[in-house]
A and B are shown apart, each in its own frame.
Chain A
Amino acid sequence: MTAHLESGTHEVIPARGGLDQNWRKLLRYGGLLALVLVFVSLIGMPVKLDSRIVVEPYISMGYLSLLWLPALLGYTVSAEKVLEGMASHARGAHELVAGAIVGLVGGAGLALLIWGLDTRDLSDPLVNWGDNLLGLLTFNETVGYGMLVWLGISTGLGLLGGLLHLLPRTATRAVLTALLAVFLVSALESALDDISEGFRLEWLFEWLFEARGGLTPKGAIAVAVVAAGYVVFGRSRAKAVRQRYDAMPTVERTRANAALLVLAGVAVVVLPMFLGKLTNELLANVGLFLLLALGLNIVVGLAGILDLGYVAFFAVGGYTTAILTSPQSPGLSPELPWLVALVVVIGMATLAGLFIGAPVIRMRGDYLAIVTLGFGEIIRLTVRSDWASGLTGGAQGITGIPGAGIFGVAEVRGIDPQAVFYLVAFFCAVAIYVSWRLERSRLGRAWMAVREDESVAEAMGINTVNVKLMAFVVGAILASFSGAIFAAKVGSVFESSFKILVSIVILVVVIVGGMGRIAGVIAGAVVLIGVLGGPNQPGLLAEFSEFKLLIYGALLVWMMLKRPEGLIPNVRRSRELHQEEFLQDAWLRGQVDADEEGNTTGGATA
């Protein structure tokens, strides 16, 4: 797309006048903005997040939860795709007015809410309706003041959103990156606190952050300037490095990859030593979910089997470990060492994979998803039932699970999150290696073929039932590792830790990261689990935990609509899109047999 814009083959016609607007569209966007603002206010985000300061004393995450919306919609109302060969208008007052009007309508919605909060009491169905919200929205001034200020703020932010269309591309990018950087740095406050202590950088931390939380104004400005500076000066250099990497011959690239891998490995080993308990605990949780996500990535991303009951294998790993190692497990209690139990865990996970896989594997698509969803719950309810409680402890669960002894070298348990992290990191490395090797093997290719078109894969000689069962089993084993570590870390297992929600969260991690892409899955786990938190685990933004599911859901819907390829898209997919554009361009220019031509040029280089 950008290539088209830069080549400038599209025609630009003069800007439209400021009042020459599509009023219905503006009203629609404005109405949407008003609804979202009121919705966000009423679910309690501004009040709950007000204690989390972004820049002291100016702005909190509570206000931010409202402020970004007018800017976003003010921008999107005038966003349009510029198509090859189509005319598009120059940008000007039209965009500014559109953004401002959308903001104004949204602000009016909020003003109406303020008026309602003041005059009525709807706190019965709407629990957040009340003086707290009113106080926040009126800045503890009069109602009229609050209404006017919000009208002004919303209009102004809408206008700024529209203004983004008028700025040059680099400037837009610099502004957005700077804002995002300020937000991220403030979101990472507790982790940065921890890291700065490890690296003896307390002075920097104290300069950046207020003692009672939030960036200092000068800190915020510094962060913004550095981020914007990177966009303006550093980006082209980063791009050049990237291009040089892409242009490397295979041998050299393998060497570069190996170097990067070693570097990443060293970072994973060294970094935790400088981190405090809190950050290590966070990393350990990220690792546990990453391990699950890597396993699910094989099932969903590679083999294309939408398994919604994946948590069952996590539970199998956790409970098998608990029963075999804990002296307090009610039925069987052999008190095996963790590593010995792990061997049994692998066996149990394989059995569970075959047991759940065999009946569902012959189904396809939606049916399979629904049945796996059911199986996931069946496993949990069985564990909880009276019938199994002699073995699993029912709702009381199993407690007293000892730590994981590693050849007498270390005893990994929850009170030492750093050790847990190393253990998890080791298993994640194993999972990454397994995914990487299998993807490039006979089995991995068969998985992809099944994902692409199951009937054709079958007709090409692939026993799809076997191949899909293999995916199920490999995924099950990886999930059970995570379960085994989880049990040793927490020291107890309860069926409530293995609800459907876990399956959903892992699936969101895989989808948001980019299905079938290992780097994407890692990014997805770090961002989602690290920042927002897992189903029962707090993330960096602990204040968000109430809204975690809402955000996960919204993110999933948005991803599916706008960016189905995930955060870090599959190289293959983007290359393919690029190729099609290339062919299309060639066709537009009247080069009929683009294929043959590509052939001769390609033949020369190959």
Chain B
Amino acid sequence: MSGERLLTIDSLSVTFGGLDALKNLDFHVDEGEIVSVIGPNGAGKTTFFNMISGMVAPTAGDIVFRGESLLGFDPNQVTARGIARTFQNVRLFANMTILENVMVAQHCRTKQGVFGALFNTPGFRREEEEIRAHAEKVLGFFGTRLIGYRLHQPASVLSYANRRRLEIARAMATKPTIILLDEPVAGMNPKESEELTGLIGKLRSEWGFTIVMIEHDMNVVRDVSDRVVVLDHGETIAQGSFEEVSTDPEVIEAYLGRPVEGAS
């Protein structure tokens, strides 16, 4: 199932004022994989995503994507190279419409500037058409929920579940190779999260994305992951298939050694 090695992370560490958020983390993703990252709250999972997407600089280690080190890149450069992400605490462009949220995410794949816009050149019109068509295609992935009359509503009117879907749509619209999903089903009811689990599978089978996902919902993790990585206190404590990891004594210890919370 897995193809070429896409992302290699080599003894990555980060410290926030004395706190080791991540310690000597090694990690890799191959093309076409779905990898889940799990671990208790505060384990450093979101920090791990922030580091890959260039929003936080690591204090040591290296991140290599397709043979190129991502260290020192701005987030937009990382996205342009093909790594998109969603945010755990949904961060949509609330006053922009649903359509605009997805259109703007194609920024780094398009190039028309002031001249084209002012003179409405054929190139400009063609590109706008393409941006819009791609946006509607991406939004159509979630059924009828985000299209039709919804296209021109501001993102802030959406229900919680739809906001999460729009976050994913926005990441898809950047035409990435890898999508990083930070707790995609948090706050959804069981029916909604089951449906989204199916869609995550389709993100790979139909769209060809490779997926790294942080998730607390073990049903989702079991259903879609090829491989599970367990973080605790910024360190990898286990890696392997869901069955291997879920029976690992150290993992059980990590989850039982402190109160287990559902989400966040």
**Interface positions of A (Cβ within 8 A of B):** 433-434, 437-438, 440-446, 448-449, 452-453, 455-464, 470, 474, 570, 572-573, 575-576, 579-580, 583, 593-595, 599, 602-603, 605-606
Contacts and interface: CB of A to CB of B under 8 A. Distances in A.
Interface of B: 53-55, 74-76, 79-80, 84-85, 87, 91, 93-97, 100, 103-105, 107-110, 112-114, 116-118, 120, 124, 127-128, 131, 144-145, 148-150, 153-154, 156-159, 161-162, 170, 174
Contacts of A464: 76
Contacts of B154: 572, 575-576, 579
A605 B93 contact: no
A579 B187 CA distance: 22
B93 A453 contact: yes
A246 to B, nearest CB: 13
B127 A602 contact: no
Contacts of A441: 112, 116-117, 124, 128
Given A448-B96, A449-B93, A461-B107, A576 B148 contact: no
Nearest to B111: A442
Nearest to B101: A449
A438 B144 contact: no
Given A456-B91, A459-B85, A460-B79, A448 B148 contact: no
Given A448-B104, A461-B79, A461-B80, A583 B112 contact: no
Given A440-B117, A455-B75, A603-B148, 11 more contacts: A441-B112, A442-B127, A444-B117, A445-B103, A452-B94, A456-B87, A460-B84, A461-B80, A576-B153, A579-B153, A583-B157
18 contacts: A434-B118, A441-B128, A442-B112, A445-B96, A448-B93, A452-B95, A453-B91, A459-B79, A460-B170, A460-B174, A461-B80, A461-B84, A464-B76, A572-B97, A575-B154, A579-B154, A595-B158, A603-B149
Given A461-B107, A575-B154, A470 B114 contact: yes
B79 A605 contact: no
Contacts of B170: 460
B95 A474 contact: no
Nearest to A573: B95
A461 B95 contact: no
Contacts of B91: 453, 456
A437 B121 CA distance: 12
Contact of A595 (B74, B124, B159): B159
Contacts of B54: 459
Contacts, number: 129
Contacts of A443: 113-114, 117
Given A437-B120, A441-B117, A460-B79, A449 B156 contact: no
Contacts of B93: 448-449, 452-453, 456-457
A576 B98 CA distance: 12
Contacts of A445: 96, 100, 103-104, 107
List the 9 closest pairs (A to B, CB-CB), nearest first.
A461-B108, A606-B148, A441-B117, A595-B159, A461-B79, A452-B93, A579-B157, A445-B104, A602-B149
Contact of A459 (B53, B114, B128): B53
Contact of A437 (B100, B118, B157, B159): B118
A446 B156 contact: no
B144 A442 contact: no
Contacts of B108: 461-463
A356 B105 CA distance: 28
Contacts of A438: 114, 117-118
Contacts of A442: 107, 110, 112-113, 117, 127-128, 131
A458 B100 contact: no
Contacts of A434: 118
A461 B170 CA distance: 11
A580 B156 contact: yes
A532 to B, nearest CB: 30
A149 B104 CA distance: 64
Contacts of A459: 53-55, 75-76, 79, 85
Contact of B74 (A437, A444, A458): A458
The listed residue with most A CB atoms (<10 A of its CB), out of B85, B93, B109, B144, is B93
Nearest to B161: A595
A602 B153 CA distance: 12
A474 B114 contact: yes
A461 B109 CA distance: 9
Contacts of A602: 148-150
A463 B128 CA distance: 19
B47 to A, nearest CB: 15
Contacts of A462: 76, 104, 107-108
Nearest to B162: A595
A460 B118 contact: no
Contact of B95 (A437, A458, A572): A572
A448 B97 CA distance: 11
Contacts of B100: 445, 448
B96 A452 contact: yes
Contacts of B97: 572
Nearest to B151: A606
The listed residue with most B CB atoms (<10 A of its CB), out of A456, A470, A573, is A456
A304 to B, nearest CB: 10
A124 B114 CA distance: 59
Nearest to A516: B95
B117 A437 contact: yes
Nearest to B100: A445
A570 B94 CA distance: 14
A437 B157 CA distance: 26
A496 B79 CA distance: 47
A470 B107 CA distance: 15
Contacts of B55: 455, 458-459
Contacts of B114: 438, 443, 470, 474
B94 to A, nearest CB: 6
Given A441-B124, A443-B114, A463 B153 contact: no
B103 A576 contact: no
Nearest to A595: B159
A573 B116 CA distance: 29
B95 A603 contact: no
